[in-house]
Amino acid sequence: MICEANSTAYKDGKLVSPDFLPPPRVISEQNNSNSRRLRTSRTINNSTEERAFPGLSLTTLSNKIAESKLKLPKSLQFRIYLKAEWNPARLYKHFGFAGKSLDWVEKQPNFLVYLGYSKFWNAKGGRYMR
């Protein structure tokens, strides 16, 4: 079978287009100026350092949530307390229950949150956590 030079060709018994280029097998074969590379030395000027988009950091987002007065789901709030290494005793003080009578504490809306976190904290290992 005769193949024309500028149409298609056979390679290893398969029909291949002449403008087909297989993808590079190793990074050094890439010839793309948009490919990202890791820096191996320090930058001379700190302003040339790549940064995240302003206003999208976690602290900014959490501040915006706090300003909006929206309540977080209890499970998310419990995970935040756990990540901050708060035990139920610290949460009890945070809610202002320390030194108050039990009757007064039980009437507070945050008392149910405290009980829920105590149960969550114990299920995660409680006092054995580090």
Whether 8 is covered by a domain: the verdict is no
Structure tokens at 59: 């602290």
Whether 106 is covered by a domain: the verdict is yes
pLDDT at residue 77, rounded to an integer: 87
Whether 100 is covered by a domain: the verdict is yes
Given a cut of 80, is residue 48 above it in pLDDT?
Answer: no
Q: Per residue in 71-93, pLDDT tens?
A: 778 888 888 888 888 899 999 99
Question: Is there a contact between 88 and 117 (Cβ–Cβ < 8 Å)?
Answer: yes
Given a cut of 80, is residue 52 above it in pLDDT?
Answer: no
| Residue tagged 């206003």 (tokens) | 55
- Cα dihedral across residues 71, 73, 78, 84: positive or negative: negative
Phi, psi at 8, each rounded to 5°: -135, 160
Given a cut of 70, is residue 53 above it in pLDDT?
Answer: no
pLDDT at residue 66, rounded to an integer: 67
Whether 94 is covered by a domain: the verdict is yes
Question: Is there a contact between 16 and 8 (Cβ–Cβ < 8 Å)?
Answer: yes
Better-scored residue on pLDDT, 22 or 78: 78
